[in-house]
């Protein structure tokens, strides 16, 4: 049993055994610059030389030190992205779109999680700038003054996402959360609902959706929605809890707009448990068009947004900029669609 054993590889074996460009060059009988060229610009090396060097690279298990390369060339081929939370499905598709597009060009993604905190976001931005990432993707348009200033000073391309703004830091791809909330308000009105509640967090995008919803209702002189604030955390449970609160404290409510589909699904589960019929007794709708909204019964009305495309476009903008190509649209509005389903 190999327990209680001191780890045998001292991490600081300073005379590191790592194979270097020099080693390969020496073995292959060329200068180190040739090895460099074989890796970066193979066309500029004679085929014979290239073959020989390549075989030594493989044989010796040489892995170029990207730290040194980045330091010398001032390009790391790393793009950083900051999302409020990884591991909840909302932003997963954006990350996927981002990383797929970046990988296709040999870039890697450094991922950070801000926990919906502007301060944490700022700290991450500083750390990423310290690592000399080639570009940064941010969620939302709200950032600390310090973050904006750092980003400006670093002079690297930035893409803000998941919202719209007149004056982005640099580039922007998203949709109007306000308009999306407004559109859902119109949908609910048109379906005849008059006592509407909104369940969502304090994050800027949720706030914008609520503002849009409120405006739509006000337009028709329907009273301002009841606002149930949810803590961050496990969404199904939060959705359930807010549903309990609505049923208990706001029994006249006939429709609830949730800031995401998982919250709505949790609420639906609570309704089913309490034998409230959806949508007959109370209507529910969500946001983002996640899988659960489609698959649960009754299927949940939602606002479809193209999360994957946001990531994809952000990556394209960055790559264009990094290759000195013009970016056709510095502000890119991807829009949204209300998807009526059985739950309303």
Residues within window 173-212 making contact with its own copies, judged by CB under 8 A: none
321 binding partner (options DNA, its own copies, none; Cβ < 5 to 8 Å by kind):
its own copies
What number of CA atoms fall less than 13 Å from residue 138's CA on the CB side? 31
The single residue among 34, 36, 76, 301 that binds its own copies, judged by CB under 8 A, is: 76
For 173, residues 6+ apart whose C-beta sits below 8 A from its C-beta are 159, 160, 161, 310, 313, 314, 317, 331, 332, 334
Beta carbon of residue 56, minimum distance to DNA (angstroms, whole number) = 13
Beta carbon of residue 109, minimum distance to its own copies (angstroms, whole number) = 8
Distance in Å from the first CA to the final CA of the chain = 60
Q: How far apart are CA 159 and CA 168, in angstroms?
A: 8
Is 4 a binding residue for its own copies by CB under 8 A? The answer is: yes
Q: How far apart are CA 219 and CA 20, in angstroms?
A: 69
17 binding partner (options DNA, its own copies, none; Cβ < 5 to 8 Å by kind):
its own copies
232 binding partner (options its own copies, DNA, none; Cβ < 5 to 8 Å by kind):
none
Binding mask 24-63 for DNA (x = CB under 7 A): ------xxxxx-xx-xx---xxx-xxx-------------
Q: Which is nearer to DNA, 176 or 321 (CB)?
A: 321
For 149, residues 6+ apart whose C-beta sits below 8 A from its C-beta are none
Q: How far apart are CA 20 and CA 26, in angstroms?
A: 10
| Triad 45, 46, 52: Cα angle to 5° | 95
Is 155 a binding residue for its own copies by CB under 8 A? The answer is: yes
Q: Which is nearer to its own copies, 144 or 191 (CB)?
A: 144
C-alpha distances in angstroms, 20 versus 1, 28, 32, 60, 75? 37, 13, 9, 10, 20
Spatial CA neighbour of 117 closest among 90, 92, 83, 153: 83
Beta carbon of residue 278, minimum distance to DNA (angstroms, whole number) = 58
Q: Are strands 78-83 and 135-139 parallel, antiparallel or unpaired?
A: parallel
Q: Which is nearer to its own copies, 235 or 287 (CB)?
A: 235
Please identify which residue in the block is written with the tokens 């529910």.
284
Tell me which residues in 5-64 interact with its own copies (CB under 8 A). 5-7, 9-14, 16-19, 61, 63-64
Is 78 a binding residue for DNA by CB under 7 A? The answer is: no
22 binding partner (options its own copies, DNA, none; Cβ < 5 to 8 Å by kind):
DNA
Can you point out the beta strands (E) in 141-204? 158-161, 171-174, 196-200
Is 289 a binding residue for its own copies by CB under 8 A? The answer is: no
Asked whether 107 and 134 are in contact (CB, 8 A), the reply is yes
Q: How far apart are CA 303 and CA 183, in angstroms?
A: 9
Is 103 a binding residue for DNA by CB under 7 A? The answer is: no
Tell me which residues in 112-131 interact with its own copies (CB under 8 A). 113, 126-127, 129-131
Is 67 a binding residue for its own copies by CB under 8 A? The answer is: yes
275 binding partner (options its own copies, DNA, none; Cβ < 5 to 8 Å by kind):
none
Asked whether 344 and 301 are in contact (CB, 8 A), the reply is yes
Q: Which is nearer to DNA, 32 or 304 (CB)?
A: 32
Is 68 a binding residue for DNA by CB under 7 A? The answer is: yes
Is 252 a binding residue for DNA by CB under 7 A? The answer is: no
The single residue among 22, 202, 281, 329 that binds its own copies, judged by CB under 8 A, is: 329
92 binding partner (options its own copies, DNA, none; Cβ < 5 to 8 Å by kind):
its own copies
Q: What residues make contact with DNA under the rule CB under 7 A? A: 14, 16, 18, 20-22, 30-34, 36-37, 39-40, 44-46, 48-50, 64-65, 68-69, 71-73, 75
């Amino acid at each position: 049993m190999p327990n209680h054993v001191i780890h045998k590889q001292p991490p600081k074996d300073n005379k590191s055994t790592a194979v270097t460009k020099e080693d390969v060059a020496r073995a292959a009988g060329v200068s180190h610059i040739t090895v460099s060229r074989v890796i970066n610009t193979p066309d500029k090396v004679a085929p014979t030389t290239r073959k020989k060097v390549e075989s030594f690279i493989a044989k010796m298990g040489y892995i170029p030190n990207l730290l040194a390369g980045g330091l010398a060339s001032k390009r790391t081929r790393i793009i950083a992205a900051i999302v409020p939370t990884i591991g909840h499905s909302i932003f997963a598709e954006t990350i996927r779109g981002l990383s797929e597009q970046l990988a296709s060009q040999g870039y890697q993604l450094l991922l950070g999680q801000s926990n919906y905190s502007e301060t944490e976001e700022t700290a991450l931005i500083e750390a990423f700038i310290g690592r000399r990432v080639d570009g940064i993707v941010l969620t939302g348009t709200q950032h600390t003054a310090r973050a904006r200033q750092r980003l400006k000073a670093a002079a690297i391309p930035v893409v803000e996402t998941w919202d719209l703004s007149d004056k982005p830091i640099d580039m922007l791809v998203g949709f109007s959360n306000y308009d999306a909330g407004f559109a859902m308000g119109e949908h609910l009105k048109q379906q005849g609902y008059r006592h509407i509640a909104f369940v969502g967090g304090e994050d800027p995008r949720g706030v914008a959706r609520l503002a849009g919803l409120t405006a739509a209702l006000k337009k028709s002189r329907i009273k301002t929605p009841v606002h149930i604030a949810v803590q961050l955390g496990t969404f199904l449970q939060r959705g359930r809890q807010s549903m309990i609160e609505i049923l208990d404290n706001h029994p006249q409510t006939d429709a609830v707009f949730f800031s995401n589909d998982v919250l709505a699904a949790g609420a639906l589960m609570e309704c089913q448990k309490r034998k409230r019929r959806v949508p007959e007794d109370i209507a529910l709708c969500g946001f983002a068009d996640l899988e659960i909204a489609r698959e649960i019964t009754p299927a949940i009305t939602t606002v479809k947004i193209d999360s994957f495309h946001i990531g994809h476009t952000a990556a394209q903008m960055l790559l264009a900029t990094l290759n000195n190509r013009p970016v056709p649209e510095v502000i890119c509005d991807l829009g949204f669609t209300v998807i009526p389903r059985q739950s309303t």
